[in-house]
Amino acid sequence: MMRRIAVLDAPTNLGLRPPTSTSVPGCAKAPGALRDHGLLARLRARDAGCLTPPRYDPGDWRPGDGVCHAREISDYSVALADRIGAIIDRGEFPLVLGGDCSVLLGSALAMHRLGEAVGGRIGLVFVDGHSDFRHPGNASYVGAAAGEDLALVTGRGQADLAAIEGRRPYFRDIDVVVLGIRAQDEYRLDLQAAGITTRPVPALRAEGAARTAQWAHEQLADCAGYWVHIDVDVLDPAVMPAVDAPDPGGIAFAELEILLAGLVDTPHCLGVELTVFDPDYDPDGSYAAEIVNTVVAGLAPVSAPAAMPPRLLPAA
């Protein structure tokens, strides 16, 4: 039985800082740019629509005020969790097109609800060029949720984001695998101290993308299932500069394709989100085309005729 993919747009910028004082980030345009390159048709996916975000307006936010747009992000996360949950209830595989990394909060909330319903824990495979682990315990101030999403979904930070519906954490530290961060990530020692499993780019490349995907799956063997977060800044800026924070030392498109295919080629993978592509830096659409090619090839195991439907393991 094949698994049908359902594509949901989550075009939010709420977790990012303004690129200039008079502009807004371009990540909200990403879903449209990817659709323009035939993503849904090539995936033979159901169109699950678009969840329109609240207005982007930092207003008079200042350092020390907490996370900017916190109320809006919280409300959006609840609505996004509802939509993801409905897709999974239909027996489909959600592909969420962000938007910035704050969409992870909605996905995480959906996964925590699901874990509670089945009596098990849901894990997270966090594929990102940055650890996004800034929080009040290791930084002088917080502000942009897209740089704090992993901290928030593991229960660190203000309760209106880290404990929506009284759920904290959405993912336990031991149920998180971080792949693709740079070797000198600012918070790598904090991740280690927390017991969060990581495989930075040098180790990922040394082991290979296929073996890394299998390794990540094995790390989460005690979970009922897992969600996959992919920030395209995991790619090296030489091949993907159209992101808000390009950082040298990333992986290649071919490696991301192999990694994604390995991660989704199991009924325990419950869905994928794609974040931080900024079409403002892609005037001719060539990077959007590359992303679509990679996602279509990487998700091929999901919709293959022999693919298994989602299957949640019983509680360990």
Residue 305's pLDDT is what?
73
Q: Which pLDDT score, from 0 to 100, does residue 1 have? A: 52
* Cis-peptide into 208, omega within 30 deg: no
Q: What is the phi/psi pair of residue 296, to 5°?
A: -60, -45
What is the C-alpha to C-alpha distance for residues 228 and 125, in angstroms, rounded to an integer? 5
* pLDDT at res. 21: 86
CA distance 96 to 136: 28
pLDDT at 308: 58
**Pick from 19-33, 70-84, 196-210, 298-312: least confident:** 298-312
To which residue do tokens 């996602």 refer? 295
Whether the per-residue pLDDT at 314 is higher than 60: the answer is: no
**pLDDT tens digits for 220-265?**
999 999 999 999 999 999 999 999 999 999 999 999 999 999 999 9
Q: What does the alpha-carbon distance between residue 51 and residue 242 come to, in Å, rounded to a whole number?
A: 23
* Mean pLDDT value across residues 16-44: 96
Residue 315 has pLDDT above 60, yes or no: no
- 196-220 pLDDT, tens digit each: 999 999 999 999 999 999 999 999 9
DSSP string, 153-185: HTT-S-HHHHTGGG---SS-GGGEEEES--TT-
pLDDT value of residue 313: 60
Residues 71-84 have pLDDT tens digits of 999 999 999 999 99
**Assigned token pair, 170:** 């959405």
Mean pLDDT of 84-103: 98
- In whole angstroms, how large is the CA radius of gyration of the chain? 18
- Mean pLDDT for 120-143 is 97
Is residue 306 very low, low, confident or very high in pLDDT (cuts 50, 70, 90)? Answer: low
The vertex-219 CA angle with 216 and 220, nearest 5°, equals 95
Residue 135 pLDDT: 97
Q: What is the mean pLDDT of residues 169-182?
A: 98
What pLDDT score does 316 carry? 46
Please report which confidence band the pLDDT of residue 310 belongs to, taking 50, 70 and 90 as the band edges: low
Instruction: For each of the domains in the chain, give its residue range(s) and CATH number, in order of start.
Output: 5-303 (3.40.800.10)
Q: Which position has the higher pLDDT, 309 or 247?
A: 247
Who has greater pLDDT, 236 or 308?
Answer: 236
